[in-house]
Structure 1
Amino acid sequence: MRIDMFGDTLCAMVTAAAFAQSGHRVRWWLPPGRVARALDDGRVLYQEPGLAELVTGQRRAGRLDCRTDEPGLADPNGEPAVSEPAPVVCLALQPGDFDRAEHLAAWAGRGGARLLINQSVFPVGSTEQLQKGLREQGAATPVVCLPDTLQEGMALASFTRPHHLLLGCDDREAEVTMRELLRPYNRRRDVLQVMQPREAEFTKVAISGMLATRLSYMNDMALLAEELGVDIDVIRQGVGSDPRIGEAYLYAGCGFGGPGFSRDVMNLTDTLRRRRVGAKLLEQVLQINERQKEVLFRKFWRHYEGEVDRRRVTLWGAAFKPGSDRVDNGPALRLIEALWAQGVDVHVHDPLALPELAAWARDKGTLTLHDDPYDAARDSDALMLVTEWKAYWGPDWDDLKNAMHTPLILDGRNIYDPAYVTRQGFTYYGIGRR
């Protein structure tokens, strides 16, 4: 099947490459920008396991045609540069680009596309709005919603081996086509849940809201655990053993971030406000999360009794989660700003996210970035573990202690055994740990 993909999001890249791998012929139309420039240079900007190899391989095989040579997607008259749409058109655009989505939907409808797939992160009701616009123009193209449920850090695996797939669809023929497109990823058991488009869009943001609530709840419990002298990790295991609750997203830490997760919760909160439904719970979730992003700084401040000016601090990890090079809304950013405000010399190591972090820090403050984690820790008065990359789980404690000026560990993800680290000669602080 021939497919046109529009957008430069991670969702667009994963979907285009995966469909191409399944034998479809995909034209991927990118707007000018960093993603397009990287592809022109033979690089893949999104650092996701297996994704660069897949994109490169499908381009080499000729099934993925990346149209990055256009100055834009439209000619001076506003019409798309490609004259005729493929039978299937996918939109995985950036948030806030709904006008572009309407323009492309109209073009797909005029061109006789048999299906329009909306994967963009737009407000609830956007797919219905696209469908309404097409019907008003007399176009018969059905519009379905395939919400972006990718987990950054494992984006390709979460698309090709999904635990669940949401499909917003109210057209039988469109559902048949979608089931065929998704068949390679829906073989072990039927994980496709079909519902109305508005229901699919709402389900996606409601999932994010629920997961964020669990995380913030456990962070609140971690504060109480410290006051009661109990270990939140023991509490987590006890709570997770209850089958009504389960184990996922119960880890206390230094806050969540990411371009998708945080945005979903904020969009859900805004929707509740606009509909004049109380959003107090989710507002509290977001407030707790913002507070939690500074928890390591507060522990550092208390340890040194406020005498932190000109001290040197090392952060291990800047990406909002392991496996990603993204720092968007991540706890490292808020933490670095708090350290800067107190005159702290900040050094950072991260396996993937240093270029993104450098771009964020430009014109904000001074960061020293390191390619080696032990070089980053040299002469430091504290080491703050922010992102739980696997490379950080088993450090050489002797080398680390010898490198640091003061052997102080602030574990923002509770990945270390407090008793063991203490026996290695370090002072240890976790989140809700004894």
Structure 2
Amino acid sequence: MKVTVFGVGYVGLVQGAVLAEVGHKVVCVDVDQSKVDFLNQGGIPIYEPGLETLVKSNLEAGRLSFTSEAKVGVEHGEVIFIAVGTPPDEDGSADLKYVLEVASSIAEFAQGHKIVINKSTVPVGTADKVKERLIQVQTSESASFDVVSNPEFLKEGAAVSDCMRPDRIILGTDSEKAEKTLRELYAPFNRNHDKIIVMDIRSAELTKYAANCMLATKISFMNEMSNLAERFGADIENVRRGIGSDARIGYHFIYAGCGYGGSCFPKDVQALVRSANGVGYQARILEAVESVNYAQKEKLFEYLRLHFKENLKGKTIALWGLSFKPNTDDMREASSRVLMESLWQEGAKVQAFDPKAMDEAQRIYGHRDDLQLVGTKESALNSADALVVCTEWQMFKAPDFELIKERLSTPVIFDGRNLYEPDQLAAMGFDYYGIGRGKSLQGKLL
């Protein structure tokens, strides 16, 4: 099948490459000519495990190509994905400018019937706006359109496997023709059992937001419990194991930490809150989820400030982890950014290491005297006054604690992901601050 994907970010690039891998002929369109040239040469602008091999092999096989010409993409595809960004507007609502610009391009060049698929995360009612734009702008009387909501459910760091082996494929459509075509498109991913769920368009649009907001709610709930554990003298890890054993709750997304980040959860919670306001409803739980997460990102800095008796000026802090989660170089809304910027305001310096995100940190912050990006996790420790763990990369989970103690000026660890055992580190002479465990249990925040 001939497929066009507008947008080569995480969603569009992964979706295009995976569809090409199973035999479809895919053209990806992006307005950034330098990015298009880079991709056509086999380069990958983002880090995502398995993606580079997938893109290169399908480029070589002729099943995948990239262009900046919308006309080429529209003429090629019988199925056209819209997978461009929907960044938050000033009030937190989703900005549909890029989605509607793509709809205009499709309408301008379309001949005959096109199935237009909203893959971008968009507010309820966006499909109606896309359909309206298509009809307003179309230049050919032969053009006709079905608009489908087909939200993505990809996790950064596991996007390729999520796309190859999806839990579910949501199709929001009232068109039998569109449904039949998309069942054919997705047939290679739907062989073991039927993963396709067909529903009305608005329900499909809300399903995406509801899924991300539910996961964000679980995280913020657990962080709320960690704050209570801190004050009650409980250990949040014991609590997690206790409640996770209940099958109705489960173990997924109930790890206390220093806050969630990334391109999805913060943006989508805000967008649904604003959408709710737009229909006269106050989404109180989601407002609380956002508020708890915002406060949670300040916890590591508060621990540092209290440990060093509000005197961080001139201190050097070793930081392990810059990306918002492991297996990505994405630093959007990352807890590390909140921490570093707070430390810099107090006159502290940061020595940071991340396996993949250091180029991104350099891009964001440039060269500054109070940020040193180093080549190994061990070199980040040199003469530092404390170690802070922000991201749960595998390589941070079983470190050489004797080496850490030897290299730090003072033996103190602030563990934003609860990777280590408080009793073990206390026995080795460390001051250990976790999230809802360790020295944070001693009432120092009260």
Q: Same fold (TM over 0.5)?
A: yes
- Tell me the SS of whatever aligns to 1:322: coil
In the alignment, what sits opposite 1:421? 425
Cα shift readout 1:245-293 (whole Å, capped 9, x = no counterpart): 2221111100000012211111101101111201232122111111111
Q: CA deviation at 1:332?
A: 0.8
Distance 1:158 1:102 in 2: 27
Q: CA deviation at 1:240?
A: 1.6
1:245/1:142 CA distance change after superposition, 3 Å: same
Q: CA deviation at 1:192?
A: 1.7
- Tell me the SS of whatever aligns to 2:403: helix
Q: Is the 8 A contact 1:89 1:113 kept in 2?
A: no
In the alignment, what sits opposite 1:163? 167
Q: CA deviation at 1:124?
A: 1.7
Cα shift readout 1:115-162 (whole Å, capped 9, x = no counterpart): 221112222211122234445656432111111211111111111111
Q: Is the 8 A contact 1:128 1:197 kept in 2?
A: no
Residue type matched to 2:281 in 1? V
Deviates more, 1:128-137 or 1:378-387: 128-137
Q: CA deviation at 1:176?
A: 1.3
In the alignment, what sits opposite 1:77? none
In the alignment, what sits opposite 1:103? 104
Distance 1:33 1:422 in 2: 55
Q: Is the 8 A contact 1:15 1:159 kept in 2?
A: yes
Distance 2:312 2:135 in 1: 63
Equivalences, count:
424
The answer to whether residue 388 in structure 2 is matched with residue 350 in structure 1 is no
In the alignment, what sits opposite 1:84? 75
2:199 to 195, 201, 209: 195
Among all aligned residue pairs of Structure 1 and Structure 2, give the percentage whose two residues are the same amino acid: 37
Q: CA deviation at 1:166?
A: 1.6
Q: Is the 8 A contact 2:387 2:414 kept in 1?
A: yes
Q: Is the 8 A contact 2:6 2:83 kept in 1?
A: yes
Distance 1:34 1:298 in 2: 42
1:311/1:293 CA distance change after superposition, 3 Å: same
The answer to whether residue 123 in structure 2 is matched with residue 123 in structure 1 is yes
1:369 to 367, 373, 378: 373
- Tell me the SS of whatever aligns to 2:84: coil
Distance 2:35 2:298 in 1: 32
Cα shift readout 1:88-109 (whole Å, capped 9, x = no counterpart): 211111213133122133146x
> What are the within-5 Å matches in structure 2 for residues 381-392 of structure 1?
381-392=385-396
Alignment TM-score, normalising by the size of structure 2:
0.91
In the alignment, what sits opposite 1:273? 277
Q: Is the 8 A contact 1:340 1:365 kept in 2?
A: no
Q: CA deviation at 1:296?
A: 0.8
Deviates more, 1:205-214 or 1:420-429: 420-429
Residue type matched to 1:173 in 2? K
Q: Is the 8 A contact 1:17 1:58 kept in 2?
A: yes
In the alignment, what sits opposite 2:444? none
Deviates more, 1:38-47 or 1:18-27: 38-47
Q: Is the 8 A contact 1:318 1:330 kept in 2?
A: yes
Residue type matched to 1:143 in 2? V
In the alignment, what sits opposite 2:25? 25
In the alignment, what sits opposite 2:92? none
- Tell me the SS of whatever aligns to 1:28: strand
Q: Is the 8 A contact 1:128 1:198 kept in 2?
A: no
1:421/1:130 CA distance change after superposition, 3 Å: same
Distance 1:83 1:13 in 2: 17
Distance 1:288 1:104 in 2: 41
Distance 1:277 1:83 in 2: 39
Q: Is the 8 A contact 2:329 2:360 kept in 1?
A: yes
1:242/1:178 CA distance change after superposition, 3 Å: same
Deviates more, 1:324-333 or 1:84-93: 84-93
Distance 2:263 2:318 in 1: 24
Q: Is the 8 A contact 2:7 2:29 kept in 1?
A: yes
Q: Is the 8 A contact 1:105 1:130 kept in 2?
A: no
Cα shift readout 1:311-338 (whole Å, capped 9, x = no counterpart): 1101100101111100001111111111
Q: CA deviation at 1:361?
A: 1.4
Q: CA deviation at 1:42?
A: 3.2
In the alignment, what sits opposite 1:2? 2
Deviates more, 1:140-149 or 1:372-381: 140-149
Residue type matched to 2:423 in 1? A
Distance 2:436 2:65 in 1: 50
Distance 1:47 1:174 in 2: 33
- Tell me the SS of whatever aligns to 1:373: coil
1:41/1:294 CA distance change after superposition, 3 Å: farther
Q: CA deviation at 1:81?
A: 5.3
1:179 to 183, 186, 189: 183
Q: Is the 8 A contact 2:313 2:347 kept in 1?
A: yes
Structure 2 residue ranges without an equivalent (≥5) = 87-94, 439-446
2:218 to 214, 220, 224: 214
